Chains A and B, each alone.
Chain A
Amino acid sequence: MTIELALRLSEILLAFALFQQSLEQLAVRYAWADPLVFAVRLALCLPLIAGLEVTLVLAALWGIGLWQLWRYQGPYNGGSDKMTLLILTCLLLAHAAPTQFWSEMALSYLAVQLVLSYFVSGWIKVINPEWQKGEALRDVFRFSAYPVSEGLRALADRPLFLLAMGWAVILLELAFPLTLLDPLALKIALACTAAFHFSNACFFGLNRFFWIWICAYPSLIWFQDRIVGSI
């Protein structure tokens, strides 16, 4: 995959994710500034999809991302907002970079962060005895604020199932960097992680995580091809 194609695919996916986020934000209106800003963000998604004035559009979207951090005194939607800003920053730097080398560095940074998002997440779980025993995932269903219905809490009473699911996620996250060694393995791993985000969206209502994480996938496919594949 060429860097141009990776950037274009990421921009189109990002435009869709931001469009979705903005529509949701517009539905929760209670302060005059919010709908105005999110309407602007919604409008900016159109030239981003069309590939018009991409650097300027990304800069404007980055500015709005910064405003959101200030407005909500941190992320509104936790890790998904952080990933949104990270992708915006890397895509903006890739476009504004003075040379091809720095463009590649910006996109590589995004790819490396994507790998870390899985590996670090797996690492901090595997060293935690509560995760090793399956108790942590039981607690998530038992009393955390995330399950989208009370009925889902009954899964806490299926410890073996949750133990297996917990270890499946931990092993997927820990093994993720190894899949960079083979293009097919990477694509299979990305399908698995997308399925993982999909299940999180169903069980815990984390729909924005699904859409924003897949925006970074083209950067990793390019990275594997360009950097790892050439070693």
Chain B
Amino acid sequence: MLRLISLLLPALIPSWRFFKTVAPSPRVEYRLLHRGEAGDWQEDRPRPAHLSFFTMLRRMLWNPAWNEQLFMVSCAERLVEADSPHSSAHSEDEINRRIARLLPMADDTELQFRLVFWYRDGAQLVKEVEFESTPVPVNSLRVRSHDY
């Protein structure tokens, strides 16, 4: 109950501090491990090179994939902030499931993701790995999704 109140209060008494600072920004990268052999890291849902104005207008009404991606950004930030073990486990699980949702079922294959944070140091852009997950069988994530 206390947890629920702590989640509700910021909605009822918001701080409205949007973009107070531009903090290091996360990207989710993942790789597949087949029978222990690791593949290359790849960015989850890389953004397109360009978007037409028409597509931007369409996304005013229909933007589920991007909004899911923004939720994964929130999960990445919560995971690194590590407010509580429950919150961290929830965020890790959410990211795992949402990556796995778009992968085909694959036997003997595990999924591992990492959180890469981009920030500016002086005039230079820096990329730093802040978190690596424990590999999880892809099929278990797909099956578990029905047990939620």
Contacts and interface: CB of A to CB of B under 8 A. Distances in A.
A66 B27 contact: no
Interface in B34-68: 47-51, 53, 56-57, 59-68
A150 B91 contact: no
Contact of B61 (A20, A66, A136): A20
Interface stretch (A2-10, A41-49, A112-120, A181-189): A112-120
Contact of A130 (B12, B17, B22, B101): B22
A120 B15 contact: yes
Given A69-B11, A139-B120, A143-B119, A205 B63 contact: yes
A82 B21 contact: no
Contacts of A152: 51
Interface residues of A, number: 59
A32 B66 contact: no
Main secondary structure of the interface of B (DSSP, over half): helix
A205 to B, nearest CB: 4
Interface string B83-123: 00011001100100110010000000000000000111000
A104 B138 CA distance: 53
Interface residues of B, number: 57
Contacts of A20: 61
Contacts of A31: 97, 145-146, 148
A78 B7 contact: no
B62 A149 contact: no
A207 B22 contact: no
B121 to A, nearest CB: 11
Interface stretch (A21-29, A52-60, A94-102, A221-229): A21-29
B78 interface: yes
A151 B38 CA distance: 32
Given A32-B146, A149-B50, A77 B70 contact: yes
B120 A30 contact: no
B109 to A, nearest CB: 18
B67 to A, nearest CB: 6
A140 interface: yes
A125 B19 contact: yes
Contact of A82 (B10, B49, B70, B74): B10
B71 A76 contact: yes
A37 to B, nearest CB: 12
B49 A24 contact: no
A210 B59 CA distance: 12
Interface string A66-79: 10011011111111
A177 to B, nearest CB: 13
B21 A130 contact: yes
Contact of B14 (A28, A117, A143): A117
A32 B148 contact: yes
Given A31-B146, A66-B8, 4 more contacts: A74-B74, A130-B22, A143-B120, A149-B48
The 9 A-B pairs of least Cβ separation, nearest first, read A31-B148, A24-B64, A139-B22, A85-B11, A27-B64, A120-B16, A143-B118, A205-B66, A82-B11
